[in-house]
Amino acid sequence: MLQGRKSPLLDALRIEPENIDALSGLGFTEQQRGRLGKAGGWYTAALLIRPGDARLGAQLHGLLGQILGYIAAAALMLNFALLIAFMMQADPAPKQSAPSVLVSIAIAAGMGVIVGLLLWASLRAFPPEAREALRSDMRLYSSARRCVRRTLVQLVLLGIAIVIAANPTGTPHDHLPLFFITWLLGMLVAIVNLIGLRRTFGYGLVRPARSN
């Protein structure tokens, strides 16, 4: 895992494999680079050596907030893309025919695939131990559990809006009231969720402590 890579932190880890500061620093570095899966692996490795460490727990807590923030922000962008796609279908420009339902939904779905792939690329290195550590963090903090629930509600409302927009029966104008209500609820939940994430997790990055 450490072969072929050079950095002062990795050098310190080669000399002392259980160097908590080096493990924590590597996790922080990977988190800054957006490699959340690898960051979780380093943080978890440090926690296995020093269970219950408050600073390491705070770093893992911040990582959970960053993951939820990515998901919530992606869902918010998809919500806007879905609105644009649906309105193109329901109210086309003058002298232009409305695009098909499949084309409209494909616009939002395409963005969803891109965002999903980016998120997967960021989290693909997440080890099972890190996932269990994040679950423990959620069990420990009620505010974190509320953020997870709001994120799930946001995703469910987005899914319902997609189903309404893709409904082949009737015309888009027939579905407009229900779609708009669902979309608006999704936006309200998204705004509340993003505020809650900011208050609960801050910016997600907790700098590693330095040993004297």
Average pLDDT rounded to a whole number, residues 160-188 = 87
Looking at residue 120, its pLDDT comes to: 73
Looking at residue 103, its pLDDT comes to: 60
Structure confidence at residue 100 as a pLDDT band (50, 70, 90): low
CA 50 to chain centre: 27
Question: Is residue 38 scored above 90 in pLDDT?
Answer: no
Cα–Cα distance list, 40 to 16, 24, 84, 94 (Å): 20, 10, 36, 52
Looking at residue 3, its pLDDT comes to: 43
Alpha helices in 100-141 (DSSP H): 101-123, 128-140
- Residue-wise pLDDT for 102-129, tens only, equals 565 666 666 667 767 766 766 666 777 7
Token readout for 111 is 């963005």
Structure confidence at residue 4 as a pLDDT band (50, 70, 90): very low
- Residue-wise pLDDT for 63-85, tens only, equals 888 888 888 888 888 888 888 87
CB 117, CB 191: distance < 8 Å: no
Question: What is the C-alpha separation between 132 and 40, in angstroms, rounded?
Answer: 11
CA 189 to chain centre: 15
Looking at residue 14, its pLDDT comes to: 86
Looking at residue 2, its pLDDT comes to: 47
Structure confidence at residue 208 as a pLDDT band (50, 70, 90): low
